[in-house]
Amino acid sequence: MAVILSTTESPRVLLIGPVDLAQPWMEPLSGGSPELVPTSKTSVKAALAEMEKLQFSLVLIFEETNKKTSEDFLGFISRNSYVDQDIPVIVSMVAHDSNRVAALLKLGAYDCILQEVDEGQKQHALNIFRQTVEEYQTKLENAQLSALNQVILDTAGEGILGTNSAGEIIFANPSAERLLQAEPGELKGRDVNKLIIYGDGDEEWQKTPLVNAYLHGHHYREDKDKFKTLKGGSFDAAYTVTILRDSRERLSGAVFVFSDITERKKSEARLTFYSHHDPLTGLKNRLYFQDKVSYVIDQAKRLESNLAVMFLDLDRFKWINDTMGHDAGDALLVEMAHRVKRAVRSSDVLARLGGDEFAILVSGYKTPEDLSILAKKILSTLEKPFSLKQNEVNVTGSVGIATYPDCGSNVVSLLKAADVAMYRAKHGGRNNYHFYSKNMHEQVQRTAEIQTTLSKAMDNGELLLYYQPQFDTKSELLIGVESLLRWNHPKMGLLSPLEFIGIAEESGLINPIGDWVLRTACQQADSWLKKGLIRPTEFSLAVNVSIKQLRNDTLCNTVETLLAELDVDPSLLEIEITEHAMVEDIERSVETLKSLHSLGLRVSVDDFGTGYSSLQYLQIFPIQTLKIDRCFIDRIPFDENNCTIVKATIALAKALKLNVVAEGVETAEQLEFLKGVDCDIVQGYYLGRPMPAEKIEVLLRDHLLKKVNATGSQQ
């Protein structure tokens, strides 16, 4: 059993022999420096048992006459590996015998002395003992340090190679063998230079920065090179080289410490890639695009060349995210990126700025017509339906185009101009492109003013309702109104909802504004009702509800609360919703509209014929009225196709027992045609523009008087 000696303990000395011979040395050994700890045993057997428990730095054997104690002890040590073979053993002999001294030294004794010594010789012997102990202690400590170093080398995660002055490997730790895919000992003798692939591609030893450091004794560090494995592979490595010198300061070798940084390099490459690329589509990102546009602008200034920025935005992308899920939206963006990338030139820069916004940097075009051709090509790539979750989805886009230097002199102004032009294309019907022009600047400022002041419009009492009258085609009496929101802006005057409803929807203000419209309309209906100007069964007040309101789970509760609070007859109210809004989320729309209808409200479909006209929708939705869009009324009675569509729509409504309202009536000819095809209700500028409640009240009094007169004449 090996006993580990702590180098912080005082060295121990084992004395073997009769008590009368060993005892006189006990006290002298305890004094002096280094301090020794003596232990006395009378027999070899007892001494060996003690050595199994303790570590000794010196053994003194005191022989008796004709006893071969020393031979027995030294022989046992040589035969048993668990006993320290290097422990110094000094034999104290009874009489001097040169032959026996030689034999004992051959067996492993460190020295031999005579027992009969005077005090001077005894002190000399003690000095020898202490010197022997010190030498053994130093040797033992060095051995322990060497063992510790070997453990560190063997367990280190980094590869460690030692070389001679010629670069030949003379040592390799297990990690080095593992990293270089070598068997134990297989690396020894190999040229370390042959294991390195230099980052500059130059593998000639004499030309590498490493050999310069190697020959001139400099410390060297690198993380751009690769290490070859013995099986033909390679890996990115970071390594240091520490030069070794001999006692005369000559180069004697070097120590290489290296590690595999392949994963780190991959992570760095990913970070570098994603610092300039969009992680979803792999396209360039906003940061890269802005830097690139700035660089190309600088070039254009020097070369007097041109460039353009295109801003591409998907139409109704939010609807896809909301109804089909964000994973479907992401899949759409990825496929769209692939399509658009195939449409642009290799010299163009396509980037995703965020969400469904994309930008294209176009340089080197000849005429604006070239940009128009490219914009059309990009939009045409979207014509093929996208397959999302086993559904075919049709998607369109809007493109804005801004040119340098006409539309801006820097990246910020160009992007802003292209964005404004894109919104102009979107408001112009979508699936279209538009060039930025300087007169759009006023519109941009106007939109910004609306955005910043809309949130305070309700609190400031700036919102109001106008009402457009609706007339019965047979009696020509006023039988209803459509409430239309207006904003009396303190700077811009009276604004149509077309200018601010879109902003309200984007900002989240549409729900509180919608609630205000419902409350105000209910209050107005209640006022007219209490004045005796209207009757629930003979009059209706239509309120437009946006898609955002229809999706709001609180809409039905809000209406029910208003009806109870104001004690309004629900049959007076008609909820008006567009075809497009109904089919955004059919299940929710059906549920919400049925709940509203169950409260006693009527439901009408606005802009019928412009969206997803379907007989199935007319069957599943609780609809009482169809409103024919003004685009069909505008061309009657002179456009035969429109006349046919209007007639068919009215016939369909009659068959389904629905009322029909024709909006946008602006001429006498249109009115006469609609009367002739049995249209129930009409509204439009020819009959009455949208007006404040006070003017509607005047009309109501006039029509009430007409009804009274008509009743009196009949009697």
Distance CA 649, CA 647 (A): 6
Question: Which pLDDT score is estimated for 621?
Answer: 82
Q: With contact defined as beta carbons under 8 Å apart, do 707 and 532 qualify?
A: no
Question: Which pLDDT score is estimated for 437?
Answer: 84
Q: Pick from 250, 236, 289: which is nearest to 165 by CA?
A: 250
Question: Which pLDDT score is estimated for 381?
Answer: 92
Q: Pick from 512, 569, 578: which is nearest to 544 by CA?
A: 578
Q: Pick from 712, 696, 634: which is nearest to 669 by CA?
A: 634
Question: Which pLDDT score is estimated for 34?
Answer: 61
Burial (0-12, 13-18, 19+ Cβ within 10 Å), 18: middle
Helix H or strand E encompassing 461? none
Q: Pick from 264, 257, 272: which is nearest to 221 by CA?
A: 257
Residues in contact with 455: Cβ distance below 8 Å, sequence separation at least 6, in sequence order: 507, 509
Dig out the tokens for 482 from the structure. Answer: 């459509």
**For 690-695, which contacts have Cβ atoms below 8 Å and span 24 or more sequence positions?**
690/466, 690/467, 690/468, 690/484, 690/486, 691/466, 691/467, 691/468, 691/469, 692/464, 692/466, 692/467, 693/465, 693/467, 693/524, 693/527
Tell me 346's DSSP state. Answer: T
**What end-to-end distance do the CA atoms of the chain give, in Å?**
134
Q: With contact defined as beta carbons under 8 Å apart, do 586 and 621 qualify?
A: no
Question: Which pLDDT score is estimated for 605?
Answer: 85
**Distances, alpha carbon 655 to alpha carbons 290, 649, 652, in Å:** 60, 10, 5
Question: Which pLDDT score is estimated for 321?
Answer: 83
Q: Is 500 helix (H, G, I), strand (E, B) or coil?
A: coil
Its sign, for the CA torsion 172, 176, 180, 182, is: positive
Helix count (H) and strand count (E) of the chain? Answer: 26, 28
Distance CA 130, CA 11 (A): 10
Question: Which pLDDT score is estimated for 434?
Answer: 92
Burial (0-12, 13-18, 19+ Cβ within 10 Å), 248: exposed
Tokens 């604006």 — which residue? Answer: 368
Predicted TM-score of the model (pTM): 0.50
Measured CA angle at 677 (ends 674, 678), to 5 deg: 90
Interval 427-478: pLDDT, tens: 777 789 999 987 776 776 777 788 888 888 888 999 999 999 999 998 888 9
How many angstroms from the chain centroid is the CA of residue 381? 28
Distance CA 702, CA 713 (A): 16
The stretches in the chain having pLDDT less than 50 are 1-8, 202, 205-206, 715
